[in-house]
Each structure stands twice: as C-alpha cells, then as structure tokens.
Amino acid sequence: MKLLLKLLVPLMIVAAITGCEWSSGGGSSWSGLPAWVNLSGVYRGANGGVLVTDYTATPGTPGVTNTVTRTIGVGNGGGVYGGLSLGYDNIVIGSVVIDAAGYQFTDDGSGVLNGNLAGTGGTINHGTGIVNIDLGNLTIDAGEPIVATFKYAVAGTQGSGSAGPGTSGIVIYTFTVFQEGNKLEITDNNGSVYKGKFGDVSTTSGGSGSTVDEEGNEVFEAGSSAVAQYSVEGVSAAGMNVRMVGTMQGVLATAGGVFADRIMIGTWIEDGGRTGDINGQASPIAVTDTTTTTTP
C-alpha cells in the first residue's frame, strides 16, 4: 500500500504540488518544514574512515537497500496485466509483494510470483523491475490499484587514494548534528562546536507525487526526497577559524515512516589553513506527523 505521511502546510495552498522550497530568508521564520525532514544525528565518514578528507582522496560509499511501496497499475476489468514496471532496477531477490484488489502475489526468489489463490501467478524480472501477473479466471475491477512493495539495491562506490585528513592538526571522524527548524549546531568528535543555519530546502515527491487532502494537509509518499543547504562556523580543536558549507539530504524510504539515506556533503574551509571535503553518512531515523517551525 502507499505510504502517506501528512504535514501541515499554509492554508493558502489548495492544490497538489510535486515539490516545494522553504527558505531561511536570512533569519526569518522557517515554517511549513515537512516533519520527515529530520537531519539530526551522528554523521560518520564512509566505511568508518575520516569524515573531513583532503582533495587527493575520494571516499568510497557503502551500498544501500531501500524499501518502496507504490502503485504500478490499475485494473481494467480483465485478469492479465503485463509489462507493469516497479520503476527501479536491481530489485532485491525475494522482496516483491503485489497486492491487486486483495489478490496477492509473492516473489519466490527465482523470478516467479506465486498467487495466494489457485490459478493465479506471475513473473518478476529483478534486473529490470518488470512485473507480469495473471489471475486466471478472476478479474480486477476497473480503477482498482495494483500496489507493489519491494526492495531495490543501490551499489556502493569504491574510493580512490588514501583518505588523509582535510583539516589542520586534529583529525575529524564524526559530526553530531542537532537541527531545530532552520537552526543548526554541529559538534565534532574533538568537542569543537560549529553553529549556523539551513538555507533553502527542496523536496521531491516519490511515487505518484504529493497531493493535498480534504483537510488541506499535503501528503508525501515513500520515495520522496529532501535536500537542504547549510552553512556553519566555529573554531576547530586546532584553533583554526572554520566555515563549512554544503548540503544534507535523505529519502523517505519505508512504509514504517523512516527517513533514510541521510548524507552530509560539503567543503571544510579554514581561515589561513586547509580546505577539505566533507562526506558523512547517518543512520535512518523514524519520522513523526508534526510540523517544524523555528524563529531566530
């Protein structure tokens, strides 16, 4: 079934949208931020390595597995539906479940979808994400949704070079990020604190897109993503004045309401010192059905 997570939006919004932006506006309030855009957490370097690296190294990234629930077709009064697309390739073997108006099909891991009733079945191509189902003598009423829940894999990348520190004096392995609306505070593993704000936040709706329900609340589906610009300043443990700029992002991944694939990328800039790459990753976090509003 579709994952639908509600957030409050300004009353002036009365139509469906596919993406929106919130801006800190140089210190104004940050209202209407989707509650699932939670970027707080501990960010670590890829594969447990250095978080702030010099430019001679390209850190590797681990592979990830995402869970998606989405509508892949609708009934037309018949019982055979071919060429339905999951919308992704590299489908995790054995992960596909299809619900077609109460008729269910499960992935047996060999490319076959087993129906829950005699005479029903189908196929799944895990490499392309193409699904075929056959209900035999049964039919699906016109307009009834055909919903797929599945996992797809995103391959990791291999780094190049030695991941040397991109900071002067003291190596940084972790950032503990605390977000409160547009306000941002980062503490590194050496105890140094950097403070600042988020700028623009862009959201992209997953599945069939976001809608606005009858109560005026915007509804996002699994697969929706968010990217937030950030800028913070502070003094490092080596006594260097530092500015960090970049983006944080993540994906609304699962039917359980989880904000996953959270990453932090950017540039570490020392006043009169070194300049390095920031490449961090944080664990998924459960989301809640609230709206975040922060004023300076």
Under 8 Å between Cβ of 250 and 222: no
If pLDDT is split at 50, 70 and 90, which confidence band does 78 have?
A: very high
Confidence check: pLDDT of 1 > 50: no
Q: pLDDT tens for residues 198-223? A: 988 887 766 444 455 566 555 667 77
Residue keyed to tokens 């957490």: 41
- DSSP 8-state class, residue 92: P
Per-residue confidence (pLDDT) for residue 58, from 0 to 100: 65
Which residues lie closer than 8 Å to 19 by C-beta, 6 or more apart?
Answer: 202, 203, 204, 205, 210
Phi, psi angles (nearest 5°) of residue 74: -135, 155
Percent of the chain's residues with pLDDT above 70? 74
Under 8 Å between Cβ of 233 and 194: yes
* Structural tokens at position 15: 């139509």
Confidence check: pLDDT of 293 > 60: no
Residue 98: which of 150, 57, 135, 62 has the closest Cα?
A: 150
Residue 3: which of 65, 69, 67, 66 has the closest Cα?
A: 69
Q: pLDDT tens for residues 48-63? A: 788 998 876 666 666 7
Q: pLDDT tens for residues 237-288? A: 999 999 999 999 988 876 557 888 899 999 999 998 889 999 999 988 887 6
Residue 154: which of 81, 63, 255 has the closest Cα?
A: 63
